[in-house]
Structure 1
């Protein structure tokens, strides 16, 4: 358990996670700086990086779990021990700000899990880490992005995560998504302009070239929000439709009270006609 981004608010946040891991029959270890505080981050960059690299270099550590998201993981990218990660592939579990680290895991060819070890779907994370389980995620027709769904079936390795962090990683992590399925989701941090700028950056950088499909996770925090007559679905239509690939909206992935966890970096099938995303296992 490490805190590459922000610190857990209290032991009330951390203790249930450790209890869950113990109940799975695991021996959780907590990074030395997991609860440090420096502004909005869990201590200094050097200390957060030291906890992460120590976990990657320890052959007894079989998964790295982020205590929470927040802000700060992007700062760690240059110093992560990729040789250790590739020598002993260790999945990383987290989402939101952890999307930055997921891009480096992708660059290193190591699967990860977009999700969290809490809430209604904690057992699904356990199955993905310990039972070589994949994930089958049906769309929610009531979700704000459900109307983005087109037709067709697409296949590819699932990549992506939080939209803003994907854009922030452009030019920082050299990752090709050609032939991949892209997952995007977002929390409402700064209105529709954030969504527009992030997707536009990915388009102009060429990052979206060659995608086979787009899986649209939660944009629920934008429900009911408009900016000069446009809703978030207008922005997404405007910047995704002309990619000419199958799009599956309304997926319960990302910033929700109980997000569904999914492996990243593994073969996936997006079936827009059936309204279903089927993801292979992250571990074997």
Structure 2
């Protein structure tokens, strides 16, 4: 996979004319997103675990590397705390994330790991201060809960990316893909445009679109369906990834997306990594994941790409949820460019 960074700025110029009649702007169904300030050296990143349990030792490589990037690191109280599989009780995890949302000195929040537990604390959080001073929230998997909520309720961008438990323990021994994916977090936090590519697949559907990018873990998106955190996909590029599920469950979740209208008015669809459980012997589903997905979108004409470098896999690059991107799918493969 080739990957390039585009460091050129894009200038958008507009013109306005005079008219005796009142001018009317075309209606845009996609709300304007608020982009938190990008980070600069000396800014502080808070590390918290709103989901699973993790230790100081396990986050040490991530802390060390982010400090080498010039950032200060604030380690939250949930690190080392444990309530069974979670990083402390619901009350403790909510309190730790809340104080990071409210602390004006913290410019970004890095979630230490996924697992399970973010949905349990979401309704305990107060985003009033965060709305006044938005900051980047970074994570994926279970953290999709926050990405969905920020997009639907607050119109604030966030970063879908690897977390502390995915940083290599020894940077000198990390393979090139690990290095690229981790460095993409720094690029996105710092505001540098990025471009990611994936090879051509026969199931891809060609097209070029420009729209807001949203998405994350498929089962989490199903979890928040029908709630105030439910994502609105109309006019957007949706990206999806999943892990540890049987194919029949993936089929069921895609029927949920279709029947709730989330697939009908998309601008584009990006399918990332889908690491599935093998079918039980004698209980095979009888389709591939590509066939399962294409069955649900066959009546639509927007571009679709598969095997994109996002998800529970080594090639999981940082994506800005809520901001505009250009998706291009053609005979050479697919590309996604932040703008």
The TM-score with structure 1 as length reference comes to: 0.90
1:154 and 2:209 are equivalent in the alignment: yes
Contact 2:162–2:318 (8 Å) recurs in 1? yes
In the other structure, the counterpart of 2:248 is: 193
In the other structure, the counterpart of 2:155 is: 109
Counterpart mapping for 1:67-146 below 5 A: 67-107=112-152, 108-117=154-163, 118=167, 119-120=178-179, 121-130=181-190, 132-141=191-200, 146=201
In the other structure, the counterpart of 2:288 is: 231
Distance across 2 between alignment mates of 1:126 and 1:250: 23
Distance across 2 between alignment mates of 1:56 and 1:168: 23
Residue 225 (structure 1) shift:
6.1
Distance across 2 between alignment mates of 1:94 and 1:224: 27
Counterpart mapping for 1:213-232 below 5 A: 213-219=268-274, 221-222=275-276, 227-232=284-289
Distance across 1 between alignment mates of 2:202 and 2:92: 44
Higher helix share: 1
Contact 2:215–2:239 (8 Å) recurs in 1? yes
SS of the residue 1:218 aligns to: strand
Residue 74 (structure 1) shift:
1.4
Unaligned regions of 5+ residues in structure 2, if any? 1-46, 168-177
Distance across 2 between alignment mates of 1:72 and 1:224: 26
Decide whether aligned partners of structure 1 residues 208 and 75 sit closer, same or farther in structure 2, where only a CA change above 3 A counts: farther
Residue 126 (structure 1) shift:
0.8
Distance across 1 between alignment mates of 2:104 and 2:56: 27
Distance across 1 between alignment mates of 2:245 and 2:60: 32
Residue 223 (structure 1) shift:
9.0
Distance across 1 between alignment mates of 2:125 and 2:141: 19
Residue 21 (structure 1) shift:
1.3
SS of the residue 1:245 aligns to: coil
Moved more, 51-60 or 196-205: 196-205
Distance across 1 between alignment mates of 2:203 and 2:48: 36
Distance across 1 between alignment mates of 2:215 and 2:188: 18
Unaligned regions of 5+ residues in structure 1, if any? none
Encode CA deviations 1:221-248: one digit per residue, 9 max, x unaligned. Answer: 2397693321222211112333331101
* Rg comparison, structure with higher value: 2
Root-mean-square deviation (CA, aligned residues, Å) is 1.9
The TM-score with structure 2 as length reference comes to: 0.76
